[in-house]
């Protein structure tokens, strides 16, 4: 379906009031919820949320997107159990890496959120031709928009900046309390590994999967940190022959497209010293999804469960 003249005009006007895309992301400019001179503008009424965790961020701020991308294939409303019941009506689920621009235009949005995404210029320009689009913040890499930036940018775009800061403060307080209650975690090494249908990998500094552990006092496994980063910018590939490199005080594995039991039964993984010593955690689907998504809703849900799992490991070396 071709874009209507009205949609293109709205997109052109919106492009003047929102962030502008660049190779590393979008420059944070005047948010759509802010009028000239800093005054209030009408809050967006029809929001489409496309970035990783953008829809849940909007929900946490009290806004229900009319369209959203379901990155973790939850189906239904496109959200995990931590966000169940927050929609009055399910949003239309749109593609992720290659969303349907026609479907997005048909929803007649007045704001599109693509804050934690590829940062692709062509994608941004196409979305901006449909409606005001808030893209990847300046200084962020592809899919590496921090939770702090994601909440701040989206809250400003929705005209709910103060609520965004309250949400972030609540998350900070929860992590600080968990870290204070477990001083033995301070400085302990941590590996966030992945097992996919293509093999093994691990996440590196800058990834929210590593940041989560760092907020509890852990430090990234230096052996993993020394490996060359792959094209994603947030992970490294590891062959089965070099899997011992993941060994750390705590090793967490995120199964992706592979059954949890298959990972647990892997004899190569079992030979890693941390696994042999009982300091291995393989997260089930919902917990892996909540941890990885890193929205304010999923993070708070995951934190209690991760802390309980870490406590179950007993004393660390």
- Rounded mean pLDDT, 208-215: 93
For the record, the structure tokens of 89 come out as 């009506």
- The span from the CA of 167 to the CA of 313, in Å, is 30
Domain assignment of residue 196, yes or no: yes
Does 149 share its domain with 193? Answer: no
Within 86-245, where are the H helices? 101-106, 121-128, 147-157, 161-181, 208-214, 222-225
Does 220 share its domain with 253? Answer: yes
Work out the mean pLDDT of the chain and round it to a whole number: 86
Q: What is the pLDDT of residue 40?
A: 55
Does 135 share its domain with 198? Answer: no
pLDDT digits (tens, 9 = 90+) for 255-301: 998 999 999 999 999 999 999 999 999 999 999 999 999 999 999 99
Does 70 share its domain with 187? Answer: no
Q: What is the pLDDT of residue 238?
A: 94
pLDDT digits (tens, 9 = 90+) for 121-136: 999 999 999 999 999 9
- Rounded mean pLDDT, 80-88: 95
Does 130 share its domain with 38? Answer: yes
Residue 191's φ and ψ, nearest 5 degrees, are -120, 130
Nearest CA to 29 among 37, 21, 19? 19
Domain assignment of residue 225, yes or no: yes
Start-to-end CA distance of the chain, whole Å, equals 61
Nearest CA to 272 among 202, 180, 168, 183? 202
Does 196 share its domain with 289? Answer: yes
Does 18 share its domain with 156? Answer: yes
Give the domain CATH number at 78.
3.40.50.1980
DSSP letter at 35? -
Confidence of residue 8 (pLDDT cuts 50, 70, 90): very low
Q: What is the per-residue burial (b if ≥16 Cβ within 10 Å, else e) of 38-74?
A: eeeeeebeebbbbbbbbbbbbbbbebbbbbbbbbbeb
Does 232 share its domain with 279? Answer: yes
Does 109 share its domain with 47? Answer: yes
Is the separation of the CB atoms in 45 and 10 below 8 Å? Answer: no
Domain assignment of residue 165, yes or no: no
Quote the number of domains for the chain: 2
Does 229 share its domain with 143? Answer: no
HSE-CB for 33 with a 13 A CA cutoff:
18
Q: 68 lies in which domain range?
A: 5-160
Domain boundary among 160, 195, 223: 160
Confidence of residue 108 (pLDDT cuts 50, 70, 90): very high
Does 156 share its domain with 188? Answer: no
């Amino acid at each position: 379906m071709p874009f209507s003249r009205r949609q293109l005009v709205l997109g052109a006007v919106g492009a003047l009031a929102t962030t502008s895309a660049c190779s590393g992301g979008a420059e944070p400019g005047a948010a759509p919820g802010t009028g000239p001179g800093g005054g209030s503008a009408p809050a967006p009424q029809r929001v489409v949320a496309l970035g990783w965790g953008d829809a849940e961020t909007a929900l946490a701020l009290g806004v229900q997107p009319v369209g959203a991308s379901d990155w973790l294939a939850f189906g239904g409303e496109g959200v995990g159990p931590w966000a169940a019941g927050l929609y009055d009506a399910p949003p239309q689920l749109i593609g992720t890496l290659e969303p349907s621009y026609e479907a997005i235009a048909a929803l007649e949005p007045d704001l599109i959120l693509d804050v934690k995404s590829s940062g692709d210029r062509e994608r941004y320009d196409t979305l901006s031709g449909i409606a005001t689009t808030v893209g990847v913040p300046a200084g962020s890499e592809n899919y590496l928009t921090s939770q702090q930036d994601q909440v701040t940018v989206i809250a400003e775009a929705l005209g709910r900046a103060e609520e965004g800061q309250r949400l972030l403060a609540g998350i900070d307080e929860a992590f600080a309390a968990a870290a204070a209650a477990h001083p033995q975690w301070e400085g302990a090494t941590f590996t966030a590994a992945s097992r996919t249908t293509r093999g093994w990998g691990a996440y590196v500094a800058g990834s929210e999967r590593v940041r989560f552990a760092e907020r509890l006092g852990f430090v990234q496994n230096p052996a993993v940190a020394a490996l060359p980063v792959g094209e994603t910018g947030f992970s490294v590939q590891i062959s089965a022959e070099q899997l011992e490199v993941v060994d750390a005080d705590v090793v967490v594995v995120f199964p992706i497209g592979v059954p949890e039991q298959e990972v647990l039964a892997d004899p190569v993984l079992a030979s890693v010293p941390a696994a042999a010593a009982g300091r291995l955690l393989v997260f089930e689907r919902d917990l892996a999804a909540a941890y990885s998504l890193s929205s304010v809703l999923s993070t708070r849900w995951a934190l209690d469960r991760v802390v309980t799992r870490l406590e179950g490991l007993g004393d660390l070396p």
